[in-house]
């Protein structure tokens, strides 16, 4: 079993710096690291910090591989509201990750077969080096909506109404699609390292449930308590209300 470390930081700005330190350490040790890249608002400061370090020449990111975490179904490939579009603008482009180093989720055809082949392909590469994850208000990781068990694989999912509502603010005011593809819990939990970034008072209840509550499919992020690799949770004071851990 791996380790779980909770690091409480002052605010979203410090969260970005602390997260970037950790990601930079992984890349320094493994320049060709395969890294799962979450979208969502929380890791944006982290990605901006990585990009700033790259620009100033202290970080080299061009040899890493980026693995897509989740994506809506039914969008045109160039729809800028897609999670890939967001990942491209916030991570791939600023960090100079070329297209041939991006591992994208399957989105059409026989999805069940394509997802199984995708997982076999990932497993053949060896363990993922790092997963950068955010926390859904309902405890999801990626789009592993409750209930999702620890062994769930990459698959098509129906999004809950709470997730659709939460993500509408990132969707140009419209309603995001109700179906998506997500990397499975099994793939995420077997990463060598995981960094979960959590910010803001709206995550207070769920972050405690995930880290201190019972482990089970009702809160998929609770499986981080049993992940095989090293899990670091970076949480700001607004989310970790009484600051018990440090």
Catalytically annotated residues: 70, 138, 140, 145
Of 110 and 193, CB closest to ligand GLP: 193
162-176 as b/e: b if 16+ CB within 10 A: ebbebbeeeeeeeeb
Tell me the closest approach of the beta carbon of residue 169 to ligand GLP, in angstroms.
Answer: 8
H or E stretch covering 189: helix 185-189
Tell me the closest approach of the beta carbon of residue 201 to ligand GLP, in angstroms.
Answer: 12
DSSP summary character for residue 220? G
Of 110 and 158, CB closest to ligand GLP: 158
Are the beta carbons of 92 and 101 closer than 8 angstroms?
Answer: no
- CA 157 from chain centre, in angstroms, equals 16
Cα–Cα distance, 191 to 61 (Å, whole number):
19
Cα–Cα distance, 116 to 126 (Å, whole number):
16
Tell me the closest approach of the beta carbon of residue 81 to ligand GLP, in angstroms.
Answer: 13
Tell me the closest approach of the beta carbon of residue 134 to ligand GLP, in angstroms.
Answer: 3
Applying CB under 6 A, the residues found at the interface with ligand GLP are 38-42, 69-70, 133-136, 142-143, 163, 167
Task: Mention every residue, 6+ apart, whose C-beta is less than 8 A from residue 17.
Answer: 45, 49
Of 79 and 110, CB closest to ligand GLP: 79
Of 63 and 153, CB closest to ligand GLP: 153
CB atoms within 10 A of CB 242: 8
Cα–Cα distance, 186 to 17 (Å, whole number):
28
Of 42 and 152, CB closest to ligand GLP: 42
């Amino acid at each position: 079993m791996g380790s779980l470390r909770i690091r409480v930081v002052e605010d979203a700005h410090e969260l970005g710096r602390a997260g970037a330190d950790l990601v930079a350490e992984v890349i320094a040790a493994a320049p060709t690291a395969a890294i799962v890249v979450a979208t969502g608002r929380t890791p944006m400061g982290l990605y901006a910090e990585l990009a700033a370090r790259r620009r100033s020449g202290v970080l080299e990111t061009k040899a890493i591989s980026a693995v897509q975490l989740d994506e809506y179904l039914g969008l045109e490939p160039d729809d800028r509201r897609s999670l890939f579009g967001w990942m491209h603008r916030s991570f791939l482009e600023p960090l100079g990750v070329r297209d041939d180093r991006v591992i994208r989720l399957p989105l059409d055809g026989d999805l069940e077969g394509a997802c199984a082949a995708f997982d076999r392909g990932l497993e053949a590469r060896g363990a993922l080096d790092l997963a950068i994850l955010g926390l859904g208000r309902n405890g999801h990781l990626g789009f592993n909506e409750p209930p999702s068990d620890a062994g769930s694989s990459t698959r098509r999912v129906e999004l809950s109404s709470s997730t659709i509502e939460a993500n509408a603010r990132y969707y140009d005011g419209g309603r995001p699609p109700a179906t998506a593809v997500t990397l499975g819990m099994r793939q995420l939990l077997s990463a060598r390292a995981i960094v979960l970034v959590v910010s803001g008072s709206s995550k207070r209840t769920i972050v405690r449930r995930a880290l201190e509550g019972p482990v089970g499919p009702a809160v998929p992020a609770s499986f981080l308590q049993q992940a095989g690799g090293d899990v670091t949770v970076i949480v700001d004071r607004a989310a970790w209300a009484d600051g018990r851990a440090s």
